[in-house]
């Protein structure tokens, strides 16, 4: 998919998040071994038994393979830059890390007796999608597989429903983490921008409004 609005230059917060994530990925690939994943990936039983509580945060910066990191960083760049210009760098980075951590806590609570590990920024990226849909609901993106334009509000609604439908599946994808990020983003924005009515009526936000201001 593809969309471009406003300046095409990358914003500092998005740039630093991408560079940090790439740096960790390179450490994973060329220096660290599986123990690195077990310490910094999200392993629910290690949080319980070994008190690796930092994992609900550090897992955000780890990724499984090149496609995994490329997709997450592409979405972060594609949707994050405009939000950062709207909010400011400090608020944007706080939102990304906070919602990613809440998604991590959601994964932990959902799978608290599991030895399996979860890695990736997808929860935070889904929160970015939620924010973009609420702030710019009628912006259009182009789907690459099906080259037709679709409004962001419909795209996010569709992928949210798909994640919910796929929640019971054991396919190696953290659907609960995606949903956790999506919901965390919505709840944060509802509180943070309550004076603008963001999130007070999700149906109205997604289907009737042109934007929050």
More confident residue, 145 or 2: 145
Residue 37 neighbours by CB under 8 Å, 6+ apart: 28, 62, 117, 119
Report the mean per-residue pLDDT for the chain.
87
Confidence (pLDDT) at 213: 45
Q: Which domains are assigned to the chain?
A: 12-207 (1.20.1540.10)
Confidence (pLDDT) at 8: 65
More confident residue, 32 or 188: 188
CB 86 within 8 A of CB 34: no
**Residue 77: Cβ-neighbour burial (10 angstroms; 0-12, 13-18, 19+):** middle
Is the pLDDT reported for residue 27 higher than 70? yes
| Distance (Å, whole) CA 177 – CA 101 | 10
Is the pLDDT reported for residue 170 higher than 50? yes
Q: Give the pair of three-digit tokens for residue 78.
A: 């594609």
pLDDT 10s digits, 110-164: 988 887 889 999 999 999 999 999 998 888 887 777 778 888 888 899 999 998 9
Confidence (pLDDT) at 168: 80
Is the pLDDT reported for residue 1 higher than 60? no
Percent of the chain at pLDDT > 70 equals 85
Question: Binning pLDDT at 50, 70 and 90, where does residue 57 land?
Answer: very high
Confidence (pLDDT) at 161: 92
Tell me the average pLDDT across 180-196: 86
Residue 147 neighbours by CB under 8 Å, 6+ apart: none
Owner of token pair 């990925």: 25
| Distance (Å, whole) CA 210 – CA 140 | 12
Lowest mean pLDDT among 7-11, 97-101, 160-164, 181-185: 7-11
Residue 28 neighbours by CB under 8 Å, 6+ apart: 36, 37, 62, 63
Is the pLDDT reported for residue 23 higher than 90? yes
Is the pLDDT reported for residue 202 higher than 90? no
Question: Binning pLDDT at 50, 70 and 90, where does residue 61 land?
Answer: very high
């Amino acid at each position: 998919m593809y969309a471009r609005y406003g300046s095409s230059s990358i914003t500092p917060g998005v740039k630093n998040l991408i560079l940090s994530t790439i740096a960790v990925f390179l450490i994973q690939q060329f220096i660290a071994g599986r123990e690195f994943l077990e310490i910094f990936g999200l392993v629910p039983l290690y949080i319980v038994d070994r008190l690796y509580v930092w994992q609900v945060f550090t897992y955000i910066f780890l990724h499984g393979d090149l496609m995994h990191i490329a997709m997450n960083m592409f979405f972060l760049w594609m949707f994050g830059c405009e939000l950062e210009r709207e909010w400011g760098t400090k608020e944007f980075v706080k939102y990304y890390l906070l919602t990613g951590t809440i998604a991590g806590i959601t994964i932990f609570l959902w799978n608290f007796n599991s030895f399996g590990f979860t890695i990736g920024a997808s929860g935070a990226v889904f929160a970015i999608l939620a924010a973009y849909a609420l702030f710019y609901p009628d912006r259009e993106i182009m789907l690459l597989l099906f080259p037709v334009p679709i409004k962001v509000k419909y795209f996010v609604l569709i992928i949210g429903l798909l994640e919910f439908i796929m929640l019971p599946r054991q396919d190696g994808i953290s659907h609960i983490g995606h949903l956790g990020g999506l919901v965390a983003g919505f709840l944060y924005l509802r509180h943070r921008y309550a004076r603008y009515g963001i999130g007070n009526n999700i149906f109205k936000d997604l289907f009737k409004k042109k934007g929050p201001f």
